[in-house]
Amino acid sequence: MATVNREAIPAERITTVGQFVADVYLPWVAKQKRPSTSRSYSDIWKIHLKPLCADVWMKNVRTFHVQGWLNSIDAKLSRSTHKHVKNFLSSAFKVAKQKGYFDGVNPVTDSSINPRAIAPEETYAYSLEEINGILAHLREPAATAFAIAAYTGLRVGEIEGLDWDGYHDGEINVVRSIWNGLATDPKTRKSRAPVPVIRQLAERLEMHRLRSGNKQSGPMFRTRRKGTRLSMHNVRERDILPALNRCEVCHKAEDDCTLVNHKYKRDAQLPEWHGWHACRRGLGSNLYSLGVPDMVIQRILRHANVSTTTAYYIKPVADDVRDAMAKLENNIPKPALDTNWTPTQASGKAN
């Protein structure tokens, strides 16, 4: 009884990690976070953590337990995956403390991810030349959707959620994002900021409006059959990838090439698809190459802080690096004295 009386956690909140995650934490995530985050956390729990710690008593967990779980995650997975698993655990124990299921220092605080985890691959940013090349091979409405991504930096869910009445006065106003058919608020408060539309994109949008029946309201991208919002996932699968992944022999899309008597080989002269988000990184990098200040790029991409912009969305190309070093070379003043202390002919001694 003395042991029970000293227990800081109420008896009704003494539970296993698995019960807490299933009954408390994941429902909390579903209410507090975006649907995509909720789905991601559910996958992390089922795939990586549930087999390791579901039966462990929540109140007994210490840092060495957490470290053991993190060490058990497959080292062949990317470092970002390992970080996501650790973030899941840290958030879960934070909520557990707040709700009385755990007492003490968060046991994830002093743990570390597996140092042998694979470093993430370098992300990609489209150049202006690649953007023009991709646009030249896309049909509508895929071309207009891609142009919005490339010239405004909107996220793919924000493009899917655009309405015609949100486009006016030379700006696109982002008021929603669509994920798996679910409408949510934009990612952050700053994501609601209007985005200027350049002339080349404005011309495409006006042509797209005419093709859509000169609509003034409703979804900017809609299906033909029901007038519902067009899925950008379907645009990628049905229009973009078949247009860019064509066989160099028969010039047919990869799926159609199997009907011809030869092996598919992608036409290397076509631009490659690197995903919707490469447009957003491309806009940041292209603006930077044109001399636009970091803080302005941050405003255009609608990031919460400029450190995100500079760390992940500005990717100087090799020419930028060479030009920068050439500027350094041309601006170093010539030395006024012989700094090598070359011996004089008269004395043979150093000056």
CATH number of the domain bearing residue 16: 1.10.150.130
Tell me: do 245 and 157 sit in the same domain.
yes
Report if residue 20 sits inside a domain: yes
Tokens of 151: 């010239």
Residue 350, pLDDT score:
47
Report if residue 193 sits inside a domain: yes
**H-run or E-run covering 195:** strand 195-196
Note every long-range contact of 48-55, with CB atoms under 8 Å and residues 24 or more positions apart, other chains counting.
48/73, 48/85, 49/21, 49/85, 49/88, 49/89, 50/18, 50/21, 53/17, 53/18, 54/16, 54/17, 54/18, 54/21, 55/16, 55/17, 55/18
| CA dist list (Å): 62 to 23, 73, 94, 114, 329 | 21, 18, 14, 18, 55
Tell me: do 201 and 173 sit in the same domain.
yes
Report if residue 34 sits inside a domain: yes
Tell me: do 236 and 147 sit in the same domain.
yes
CATH number of the domain where residue 201 is located: 1.10.443.10
Report if residue 184 sits inside a domain: yes
Tell me: do 63 and 93 sit in the same domain.
yes
Residue 329, pLDDT score:
79
pLDDT along the chain (351 residues), means of 10: 58 95 96 92 96 96 96 91 96 96 95 89 91 96 97 95 93 91 81 90 96 92 86 96 92 80 89 96 93 92 89 75 77 66 50 46
Instruction: Give the end of a domain, one of 47, 77, 98.
Output: 98
Tell me: do 56 and 84 sit in the same domain.
yes
Q: Is 213 in contact with 318 (CB distance < 8 Å)? A: no
Cα(65)–Cα(61) distance, integer angstroms: 6
Contacts with 258 (C-beta within 8 Å, 6 or more apart), sequence order: 264
Structural domain span for residue 63: 12-98
* The CA-based dihedral angle spanning residues 33, 308, 161, 143, taken in that order and rounded to the nearest 10 degrees: -150
Report if residue 61 sits inside a domain: yes
Report if residue 265 sits inside a domain: no
Tokens of 284: 């940041």
Q: Looking at the 3D structure of the chain, how many domains does it have?
A: 3
Tell me: do 249 and 286 sit in the same domain.
no
Tell me: do 141 and 219 sit in the same domain.
yes
Report if residue 106 sits inside a domain: no
Tell me: do 206 and 293 sit in the same domain.
no
Report if residue 196 sits inside a domain: yes
Tell me: do 89 and 148 sit in the same domain.
no
Tell me: do 229 and 281 sit in the same domain.
no
Tell me: do 91 and 147 sit in the same domain.
no
Q: Tell me, rounded to whole angstroms, the distance of Cα 32 from its chain centroid.
A: 20
Residue 253, pLDDT score:
87
One-letter amino acid for residue 224 of the chain: R
Tell me: do 253 and 286 sit in the same domain.
no
Tokens of 112: 């570390």
